[in-house]
A and B are shown apart, each in its own frame.
Chain A
Amino acid sequence: MKAPLTINELKEYVMNDPDFILEYVEKIYDVISSIEPKVRAFITLRPREEVIRDAEAVIAKIKSRTAGYLVGCLIAVKDNIITKGIRTTCASRMLQDFVPPYNATVVERLREEDAIIIGKTNMDEFAMGSTTENSAFFSTRNPWDLTRVPGGSSGGSATAVAALEATASLGSDTGGSIRAPAAYTATVGLKPSYGLVSRFGLIAYANSLEQIGPICRSVSDVAVLLDVISGFDPRDSTSIKRGRQRGFYTACMERELESEIKVAIIREMFSDGIEAPVKTIFNSVLDKLESNGFHVEEVSVPELKYALPTYYIIATAEASSNLARYDGIRYGYHIVVEGRSWYDVYSDVRSTAFGDEVKRRILVGSFVLSAGYYDEYYLRASKVRRVIRDRLLRILSSFDVIASPTMPVLPPRFGERITDPLKLYAMDVNTVPANLSGLPAISLPAGFVGNLPVGFQLMSKMFSECELLTISKFIEDLLNIAPAIPELVRHHV
């Protein structure tokens, strides 16, 4: 059997023959049994029989004409998104046995539309990292080159999609965690505008920066998932009161581009740290855009040199607060408490069950929030953040999008970056501005260096996902790369 590669294709098959879902589930599990030992995208994979039972229920709904929008879709969900009854670990020993009693809003919305959760994907512990090497359990390998990282922190979600282990997936993006692995696996990843997608049920790393978003094999698939997961949620006070119009983003796929698209290139996102082959591919995309009537112009935002330190101050400050709750008392990592003071138990639990990178960020975050340093670090970072946001918004008042390479470097080999935190953090240089400013940003497959994928990032105005997706679809069609299937699984297509 030939596995359909996009959601629309899959839906066509399913509408012709609802029982196709069973075949599709079998197919995906066959792919998983051969590929998963090589890439290790999943922390928790649901048993095939259980998923088949879910699929049968969906088929019954199709036959009674009560089925939802995502029939047949097998969605891989990053393991920091709460799933009722399915272990949710955040790739941390702290939560290795945590089975939540409730669902994240996005998971509820997926289920309402009859998507089936296939499993929970690997990530950097508590989403802290850009390579998925910080998982407490194991690293995920890049399906394009098994000796390299898939990017992170949503490395498992991107890998599952690229390696055909799922129809599509959800990741979360705090400083590039959706876009980095999308770039490294030649998938499409969207970080929505801050407030567009409910964070209820997303295990917080840095609340003011992060959003849940889709990672898919095409822009249209991203639009379909965004339609399902976006929209106001009364349980998230930062979610924006916008009406949920069914099919709104999907409809944007049919739109024509409006006149001339203006693309801003920010010099500071395209200079020193960018590897030459990445630059070459990026430039070739720009050339194609220009010859297709896009207007490309270079601008400068000197303040962007403060983006990384600003990001790390805010992210670690929030993380140190969010992660305070893990003390081993109510849930999570448990040790014998008999005869010990709560203070000792807390210290022991937290020193044992958090990984090094998590501890490093908690320490830094506690420091920047401490009395006497708060003004100098956190408060100043909050001010710089506003300046960066204002600068980007000003650019976007005269441009449609801001383009850059998603990642400054090609996918690193294992261990290459993680040993030096500063080098690791520098990978996020082009992705963090979108989080600092709340803007939507997407990473599209732009080309390959050998067999290594390079990502093309576009940022746009707040809540202009429709325009962003329309432009992305145009570029996707123009470049004709997606859906990009790694050699490793090509025989399954």
Chain B
Amino acid sequence: MSKNTRVKIGLEVHVQITSLRTKLFCSCPSNYRGKPPNSNVCPVCLGLPGALPVVNREAIREALKVALALNSKINKLLIFTRKHYFYPDLPKNYQISQYDGMGSLPIAKGGFIRIENDSLSKIVRIRRINIEEDPGRITYPTGSIVTSPYTLIDYNRSGVALLEIVTEPDLESPKEARIFISKLVSILEHLGVTNPELEGAVRVDANISIEGGERVEIKNIGSPKDVEKALQYEIARQSAIVKSGGSVNRETRHWDKGKGITVSSRAKELEEDYRYFPDPDLPPIPISSDLIDEVRSTLPELPGDRIKRLMSEYGLSKYLAHVVVIRSKLLADAFESAVRECGNASTIASILVNELLRWVDECGITIEEGLKRLTTKRICKLVRYLKEKKLSSKLIKEYIKKIITEDIDPDDLIGKGYVSIMDLEYLSNVIEEVFKENPKAVEDAKKNPKAINYLVGQVMKKTMGKADPQLTYELINKRLKENVC
């Protein structure tokens, strides 16, 4: 991709309102995850003949929170619209959604989000916010549409409340798109509207056009990182077409996460006519200014304010404050709760940002799971040991790794003598002693690697079994090689 290719990107972010107890139009639980297929359904969300939708009022409040947080203009009437298209995951063959035009309105229009990093600060405009229902899920027994002999449909997700947040095409690079989504998700998380760690809670469609080409839509991208990758791929693909004298046609493509490429949708590129019209089963609901005021009064602190506060209140650098808040609300909550308990803000911020994030990423666990292991209590113990010089700052890293990968309490590590195990100097001294006391064994070990085990045993004996065998083995091995010279 050449640096000066002009790119326009607009996003459609679908966010499940996971805070709701029930689905958008029926009383089935909103949490469909981990349930046997088609067990979380009723006549309404299966679209059985005669069943009627009833709006979940809580969903409206959640949507209003988001509209207020994004500075959007809330419409006075909430109108639901039917969007028609035939697809097996859609039980009524129409989706109850919202629409701008044709006697319909979205819940809110306009608004903006400011995105920032070191070199960037810009406003991304919001076009509109819709409330709509999630379709069911299509699964392929082999995992792939191409090789599967048949298709399975699970309607457990059908009818779950979604917000569709659509931006203007204000984003100019894949990186900006990633930063935007992180910021948006952070806002939604702080509002308590969604738990972005749940699989499928945030799904993004991206519209992208490069100079001289038509708009291409990329559907169903997952995480912010994937959005960046998908867009980078797409820019490279489109630029290549343009460079070779071809033209980029308007089309819909899908992001293939496994292969890291976008693939053209098989569907014929007909201009789809959704035949929008207001759902006659759902009379318009007036949104009073009293309701809006009431919801506004419940709005929590939002990420932008929180970053500023973390900087002023705890003296965090802009970078640390930003990562702590934007990466996950849970991280920011953990930070504040630990600092409240044992002070040392910058140490704690660095534990969380530099160590916790590293290990949760490496282990492929969620931040939530990571924080269940690296609890406030454990963080404060680490801070204390560090102060008492029981642990070096180097050793702390090993501790956090152990805590997160094995869920061990720092006290247990100390009790197991993990202090000395990691203390290379101490171990080296013990090894030196063993070498002096067992010259014959040392000679044997030089010839026969298997004999090293005897030396390791001696070290274990001297440390009363507290030394880490692996580390001891490595140190002895190294020491033996030095002796050769």
Contacts and interface: CB of A to CB of B under 8 A. Distances in A.
A191 B237 CA distance: 62
Interface in A379-403: 379, 382
Contact of B103 (A204, A237, A321, A379): A379
Interface in A202-218: 202-204, 206-208
Q: Identify the interface centre among A101, A206, A235: most chain B CB within 10 Å of its CB.
A: A235
Nearest to B42: A102
Given A318-B280, A329-B88, A200 B49 contact: no
Given A82-B49, A236-B52, A366-B275, A207 B281 contact: yes
B148 to A, nearest CB: 13
Given A102-B43, A318-B280, A369-B277, A331 B52 contact: no
B419 to A, nearest CB: 63
B92 interface: yes
B19 interface: no
A200 B94 contact: no
B46 A98 contact: no
A104 B275 contact: no
A90 interface: yes
Given A237-B55, A318-B280, A325 B273 contact: no
A330 B91 contact: yes
Contact of B283 (A203, A238, A327, A330): A238
A346 B50 contact: no
Interface in A173-203: 199-203
B47 interface: yes
Interface string A319-360: 011001101011100000000001100100000000000000
B49 A88 contact: yes
B287 to A, nearest CB: 16
B49 A321 contact: no
A370 interface: yes
Majority SS of interface residues in chain A? Answer: loop
Contact of A207 (B55, B91, B153, B280): B280
Nearest to B38: A330
B94 A321 contact: yes
Contacts of B273: 370-371
Contacts of A378: 277
A102 B52 CA distance: 13
B365 interface: no
A324 to B, nearest CB: 4
A51 B24 CA distance: 39
Contacts of A237: 52-55, 281-283
Q: Pick from B47, B92, B280 the residue with the most CB of A within 10 Å.
A: B280
B50 A201 contact: yes
B102 interface: yes
A309 B329 CA distance: 57
Given A100-B49, A382-B103, A325 B93 contact: yes
B49 A95 contact: yes
9 smallest CB-CB distances across A and B, nearest first, come from A324-B93, A208-B280, A207-B280, A369-B275, A82-B50, A203-B49, A201-B50, A325-B92, A203-B50
Given A206-B280, A235-B54, A325-B47, 15 more contacts: A82-B49, A98-B49, A102-B48, A104-B50, A200-B51, A204-B49, A204-B50, A207-B281, A320-B275, A327-B88, A327-B93, A329-B153, A330-B91, A369-B275, A375-B102
5 contacts: A104-B50, A324-B92, A330-B46, A342-B87, A366-B275
Interface of A: 81-82, 88, 90, 95, 98, 100-102, 104, 199-204, 206-208, 234-238, 317-318, 320-321, 324-325, 327, 329-331, 342-343, 346, 366, 369-371, 374-375, 378-379, 382
